[in-house]
Chain A
Amino acid sequence: MGATHLPSTEFDGTAVDDQLEADAEAAQGQPATEMVQLLGPDGKLGTDPVFTEYADRLDAGKLRGFYSDMAAIRRFDQEATALQRQGQLALWVPLTGQEAAQIGSGRASQPQDYIFPTYREHGVALTRNVDLAELLRQFRGVSNGGWNPKDTNFHLYTLVLAAQTPHAVGYAMGIQRDQQLAEARAAENPQVEGSQPAEPKAAVVVYFGDGASSEGDVHESMVFAASYNAPVVFFCQNNHWAISVPTAVQTRIPLSNRAKGYGFPGIRVDGNDVIAVHAVTEWALEHAREGKGPVLIEAFTYRVGAHTTADDPTKYRESSEEELWRAKDPLERLEKYLRTEGLAGDAFFEQVKADGNELAAYVRKTTHDLETPDIRTAFANTYVEAHPLVAEELAWFEEYSAGFAGEATEEEAGH
């Protein structure tokens, strides 16, 4: 892997970084931290022996699309933060700084792939055509989900850290089995072969953070994925902070190195470089769909803002660190590239801005309109099949509520 850049601020300073790399090198007998980067902060495109080929597949339209997606989701993020400040959302989990990691990876997936997010993957949701207003239901407190995952193959957010990682592996094992069943059926009826187009091969992408990487579920998932060669891509967004705890407390080696321990490839990619993230994820998904097994991608990025709207990052980190990362902004570097290469000009960027404002207005309006559900839907959805306890409690609730309805009419009647 021809990496040209080394990470600048993992943990707190190069001394520690060097020490870690030396340790890792000693432990593994090979270089620890190479990071795939194609588009640098200066907006110049470099080369990579493996991934340039993937970058070459991108035409001007796709690259402009990456930019407009990243700009749209950043604008959405600002709007949702504002909505939270206005009391319209109970909480918001901002993604600013992680747009390239999310748009690059999300755009690399195909419709037949299935995505398991954590709770910050609004950019990935955008690439899967999830209605962003629906995404806000959970944060407005009108749903614990908010969208039907079957519509977009984008699963519900998960708040218990890492709990979704084994689900992703199980789902991938299901894809694998479906494929085997289809092949067995085709072998039984060879005459049908060719007359029907085969289902496109699918894979799963599961997102989690550097903090979540410490949870036992990630370990168990990687063991299962490796044992069964499941078509799953583990996508870790190392945004450097788990609320107030730095990555150094979660790991002594680059997270991508952990994959070696499980026996599958691990790649560290510049998470602020949308072109590299897209290339690496496309490679990993192809690898998985072809039956070659799991891949771990560590997107090396930074959460520029607070963890959530309830958090105060000034208590645990220096603003200079944020500044350092702002200089690596994923949108700015793509804009530089598009402009210098003559792929986009003022008109394009103005249009993107206008579209962003339109999206914000839509989200603002639809958030106010999000309906509060009737608690009866919770009674209805606790179990699939009839349940006497639920029926009994619902009947009690109806009777109890009916009592108040009587009171209200009496009050209205002036009694």
Chain B
Amino acid sequence: MTTMTIAKAINEGLRATLSNNPKTLLMGEDIGPLGGVYRVTDGLIKEFGADRVVDTPLAESGIIGTAIGLALRGYLPVCEIQFDGFVFPGFNQITTQLAKMHARSNGNLTVPVVIRIPYGGGIGSIEHHSESPEALFAHTAGLRIITPSNPHDAYWMIQQAVDCQDPVIVFEPKRRYWLKGEVDTESSGLAEDPFKAHVIREGTDATVVVYGPLVPVALAAANAAAEDGRSVEVIDLRSISPIDFDTVTDSVKKTGRLIVAHEAPTFGGIGGEIAARISERAFHSLEAPVIRVGGFHMPYPVAKVEEDYLPDIDRILEALDRALAY
């Protein structure tokens, strides 16, 4: 067990994967000597050279498109997109090419490309640096989407993403890059399905489903609720596509109430998908409608007001009150 930040854990995970497999390579803007704008790839170029840690031209479509070609040739590219809001020049390659190559080749071709995207707000940044576009990708079949919330998961999930034969997008909660935690580098401690949701706090009155940056917020809300005598179960989804509905269903059957929270806008988001699925699967167990907590239907607001935009402890508690009032 070692204590490290999420950023360092991803760095170590990438180091392990580069050491273990000569076909792995990293690609992205400023990921070489600079180590990425968040320093997630810090020091890797020194260790593995510029051929394995490739500072690419400033071109997102080019990065993802050439990664597809490299994957077709048997390489395992891990692409870094500098910020969430800049993935869109590469959106075409991800959704029309990467996601579909296996299917349209009738299963003959695989494109195991990993795309790392720092996402989410709360860092006081400027336009296009705080977005949560996960639902746009989750809607596309052929992609897997995961998001770690703690250093141990971050260390193992990035390696599992590289091992996966399908394309994987790793949304990294950028405001949690500096969150410290214990990492067991010997064993992931994971069952067969590495991307199963984790029940990270048990409870009996309601379930709160969250992922990525909101995990600590939900835990804090659950602790605050406990002081009022309410027992809240918290689930860290970990994988956004596919979603582990079994774990959520089991929890709701026990608690009867469900709140889903994410930073992305509520409308058309992952929360709606979970609400619909759970209404189908556990309708008779539900004591209240599924309540969603999320961002508003607006471009991510300016940093000075982002606190009003981002779901916080109070917004989750308010949703909990509403659920319990039924």
Residues of A within 8 A of B (CB): 143-145, 148-150, 155-156, 158, 160, 163, 165-175, 177-178, 180-181, 216-217, 220-221, 223-224, 227, 377-378, 380-385, 387-390
On whether the beta carbons of A174 and B70 are closer than 8 Å, the reply is yes
Most buried by A among B74, B96, B104, B165: B104
Beyond A166-B93, A173-B66, is A381–B72 a contact (Cβ under 8 Å)? no
* Chain B positions within 8 Å of A388 at CB level: 242, 244-246
Chain A, residue nearest B97 (CB) = A163
Known: A143-B106, A145-B106, A381-B102. A180 touches B51 (CB 8 A): yes
The smallest C-beta distance from B139 to any residue of chain A, in angstroms, reads 12
A342 to B66 alpha-carbon distance, docked (Å) = 48
Nearest chain A residue, comparing its CB with the CB of B244: A388
Residue of A nearest to B89 (CB): A216
B68 at the interface (CB under 8 A from A): yes
A174 neighbours in B (Cβ, 8 Å): 69-70, 72-75
Q: Which residues of A contact B103 (CB under 8 A)?
A: 144, 378, 381-382
In the complex, are the beta carbons of A172 and B69 less than 8 A apart? Answer: yes
B52 smallest CB distance to A (angstroms): 9
Q: Say yes or no: is B117 at the interface (Cβ < 8 Å to chain A).
A: no
CB distance A148 to B106 under 8 Å?
A: yes
A166 and B166 contact, CB distance less than 8 A: no
B68 near A167 with CB under 8 A, answer: yes
B92 in contact with A163 (CB, 8 Å): yes
B75→A177 contact, CB < 8 A: yes
Q: List 17 A-B contacts (CB under 8 A).
A: A144-B104, A149-B105, A150-B109, A163-B96, A165-B65, A166-B66, A166-B69, A170-B77, A171-B72, A172-B69, A174-B75, A220-B62, A381-B102, A381-B107, A383-B166, A385-B166, A390-B141
Across the interface, name the chain A residue whose C-beta is closest to B59.
A220
Are the C-beta atoms of B61 and A178 separated by less than 8 Å?
no
B163-178 interface code vs A (CB 8 A; 1 in, 0 out): 0111000000000000
- For residue A219, give the distance in angstroms from its CB to the closest CB of chain B: 8
Residues on B with C-beta less than 8 A from A220 are: 57, 59, 61-62, 65
Interface positions of B (Cβ within 8 A of A): 22, 25, 51, 56-57, 59, 61-62, 64-75, 77, 89, 92-93, 96-97, 100, 102-110, 112, 141-142, 144, 164-166, 241-246
Chain B residues near A168 (CB, 8 Å)? 69
- Interface pair B102/A166, CB less than 8 Å apart: no
B71, B72, B92, B110: which has the most chain A beta carbons within 10 Å? B72
A192 to chain B, nearest CB (A): 18
List, in ascending order, chain A residues with CB within 8 A of B71's CB: 170
What is the CB-to-nearest-CB distance from A139 to chain B, in angstroms, rounded to a whole number? 14
B59's contact among A178, A181, A223, by CB below 8 Å, is which?
A: A223
Chain B residues, Cβ within 8 Å of A378: 103
Q: Are A224 and B56 in contact (CB under 8 A)?
A: yes
B142 contacts A383, CB within 8 Å?
yes
A365 and B23 alpha carbons, distance in the complex (Å): 44
CA distance A387 to B99 in the complex (A): 14
- Return the contact of A223 from the options B62, B67, B107, B243 (Cβ within 8 A): B62
Expressed in whole angstroms, the Cα–Cα distance for A150 and B108 within the complex equals 8
Known contacts A224-B59, A382-B102, A149 near B108 by CB under 8 Å: yes
Cβ A169 vs Cβ B69 within 8 A? yes
Q: How far is the CA of A150 from the CA of B109 in the complex (A)?
A: 8
> Residue of A at shortest CB range from B66?
A170
Q: Complex: how many Å from CA A174 to CA B77?
A: 11
Which A residues touch B61, using CB under 8 A? Answer: 166, 216-217, 220
- A contact residues around B242 at 8 Å (CB): 387-389
A20 to chain B, nearest CB (A): 28
Which residues on the A side are within 8 Å of B100 (C-beta)? 144
6 A-B pairs closest in CB distance: A170-B69, A166-B65, A174-B73, A220-B62, A170-B66, A384-B165
